[in-house]
Amino acid sequence: MPLFNVYPLYDVTPVSGKGVYVYDEKGTEYLDLYGGHAVISIGHAHPKYVEAISNQVAELGFYSNAIQNPLQVKLADKLEVLSGCKDYELFFCNSGAEANENALKLASFKTGKSRVVAFKNGFHGRTSAAVAATDNPSIIAPINAQQEVTILELNDISGVQAELEKGDVCAVIVEFIQGVGGLDQGTAEFFEKVDKLCKANNTFFIADEVQSGYGRSGKFFAFQHYNVTPDVISMAKGMGNGFPIGGILIHPNIEAKFGMLGTTFGGNHLACAAGLSVLEVIEDQKLINNVNVMSEYFIKIAKTIPHIKNIKGKGLMLGLEFDFEVGDLRKRLIYDNHIFTGGASNKKLLRILPPLTVRKEHINMFFEALIEALPEVEAAEELQTQNI
């Protein structure tokens, strides 16, 4: 049976991984500075992670949410301490799209309203309401387009105020660092004003931390760089280091009701074992501190390279912007230098999303390869321009 052909694929087949490296079927080593879309938080095959999953699956891999699961409570308690989100409550799910879907559903339930405000270049997932709130018409089917969503420019405070004062908006959803959209960020004034406007207009403020959460921004959550208090915080990618797990943190002012939200697989025993091990490694290895040290080192080197026109993002959620499209550069890095990097909807942006365990020697390897590749890429770009 053929696979449904929806992914353009590189001709690389990883079969194993260790730390910041993956290895193909021929044993070729690749430096992973993309982490499979920022999923790999504590490194490939971390021993504590492998041990936790192996031990749990040997005991009990799954049972439904109809019974007590102490692992859920243990993970929630650990998350409260490390994130600093005191008294928030946790609902488990399986992915970032599902997290945002539940966040939007909860907002609509509690406010009795249905319209959503989201932002240009935002990405919130591919399920019904989440994809409708995503600024990419090519992935929104007619069934998704039935959702009521208004897309505004990032930093458009007056636009947000005008929409919220109409009285029908259940939620404002925003990435504090845009991922797929290209690492753009709102200003502190914007985020803090939107937070106040939401509270004044019975509207949920949803922080989409699916990609930026779990330490990647240099704080546990990216919204913590600002003076805001989200009603709901969505999370997923780095939460399980590759094991499917997601969740939303819900402000203590929001009351639960039986049946309001639900999931079959969310918060299962195996997922919780994976999630707990990730939190323990982040704490034990002081990875958020490492994020800040490595980010500063990376940015310092990037500033010395004249080809780089802009450095975007925070922590280890970074983008390097050039004055040419980076598709060929990414191919050269992966095939010639054996380094994984990422792209964005901004075709001139190279995304860097390594495991939070990355070290200076890995950053040095990347910049040595980049400096070597840039003249060849620019020469090819110039030749192509001349031939047009």
The pLDDT score that the predictor gives to residue 277 is 98
Same domain? For 120 and 257 the reply is yes
Total domains in the chain come to 2
Same domain? For 130 and 269 the reply is yes
The pLDDT score that the predictor gives to residue 376 is 77
Query: What are the phi and psi torsion angles at 173 (to 5°)?
Result: -120, 135
Same domain? For 189 and 297 the reply is no
Residues 6+ apart with CB under 8 A from 84: 220, 224
Residue 310's DSSP bridge partners are: 321
The pLDDT score that the predictor gives to residue 381 is 63
Identify whether 7 is part of a domain: no
Identify whether 382 is part of a domain: yes
Same domain? For 61 and 203 the reply is yes
* Mean pLDDT value of segment 282-287: 98
The rounded distance, in Å, linking the Cα atoms of 355 and 217 is 12
**pLDDT digit string, tens, across residues 189-225:** 999 999 999 999 999 999 999 999 999 999 999 999 9
Q: Mark residue 71 as left, alpha or beta (left: phi above 0; alpha: psi -120 to 50; beta: remaining).
A: alpha
* Mean pLDDT value of segment 277-302: 98
Identify whether 52 is part of a domain: yes
The rounded distance, in Å, linking the Cα atoms of 382 and 289 is 41
Same domain? For 93 and 161 the reply is yes
**pLDDT digit string, tens, across residues 233-252:** 999 999 999 999 999 999 99
Work out the pLDDT band at 265, boundaries 50, 70, 90. very high
The pLDDT score that the predictor gives to residue 375 is 83
**pLDDT digit string, tens, across residues 353-377:** 999 999 999 999 999 999 999 987 7
Identify whether 320 is part of a domain: yes
Same domain? For 308 and 261 the reply is no
Q: How many beta carbons lie within 10 A of that of residue 361, not counting itself? A: 8
The rounded distance, in Å, linking the Cα atoms of 152 and 170 is 15
The rounded distance, in Å, linking the Cα atoms of 256 and 114 is 19
Reply yes or no on whether the pLDDT at 284 is more than 90.
yes
**pLDDT digit string, tens, across residues 72-129:** 999 999 999 999 999 999 999 999 999 999 999 999 999 999 999 999 999 999 999 9
Query: Which amino acid is residue 11, in one-letter code?
Result: D
Range(s) of the domain holding residue 356: 14-45+286-387
Residue matched to tokens 């797929």: 180
Same domain? For 93 and 202 the reply is yes
Same domain? For 169 and 267 the reply is yes
Same domain? For 166 and 63 the reply is yes
**Of 211, 98, 197, 116, whose CA–CA distance to 157 is shortest?**
197
**pLDDT digit string, tens, across residues 169-197:** 999 999 999 999 999 999 999 999 999 99
How far the first Cα of the chain sits from its last, in Å, is: 42
Segment holding 82, helix H or strand E? helix 70-83
The pLDDT score that the predictor gives to residue 240 is 97
**pLDDT digit string, tens, across residues 133-176:** 999 999 999 999 999 999 999 999 999 999 999 999 999 999 99
The last residue of one of the domains, among 232, 262, 284, is 284
* Mean pLDDT value of segment 22-46: 97
Same domain? For 29 and 72 the reply is no
Segment holding 93, helix H or strand E? strand 89-93
The last residue of one of the domains, among 261, 284, 307, is 284
Residue 29's DSSP bridge partners are: 23
The last residue of one of the domains, among 284, 306, 332, is 284
Same domain? For 211 and 159 the reply is yes
* Mean pLDDT score of the chain: 96
* Mean pLDDT value of segment 307-312: 96
The pLDDT score that the predictor gives to residue 384 is 63
- Map 156-198 to HEC letters: CHHHHHHHHCCCCEEEEEECCCCCCCCCCCCCHHHHHHHHHHH
In angstroms, how far is CA 196 from the centroid of its own chain?
25
Query: What are the phi and psi torsion angles at 38 (to 5°)?
Result: 70, 20
Identify whether 6 is part of a domain: no
The pLDDT score that the predictor gives to residue 377 is 75
Q: What is the CATH number of the domain that holds 332?
A: 3.90.1150.10
Work out the pLDDT band at 386, boundaries 50, 70, 90. low
The rounded distance, in Å, linking the Cα atoms of 68 and 186 is 41
Rg (CA), the chain: 21
Q: What is the CATH number of the domain that holds 198?
A: 3.40.640.10
| 181 touches 344 (CB < 8 A) | yes
Reply yes or no on whether the pLDDT at 388 is more than 70.
no
Same domain? For 221 and 256 the reply is yes
Identify whether 273 is part of a domain: yes
| 259 touches 224 (CB < 8 A) | no
Pairing of strands 317-321, 349-352: antiparallel
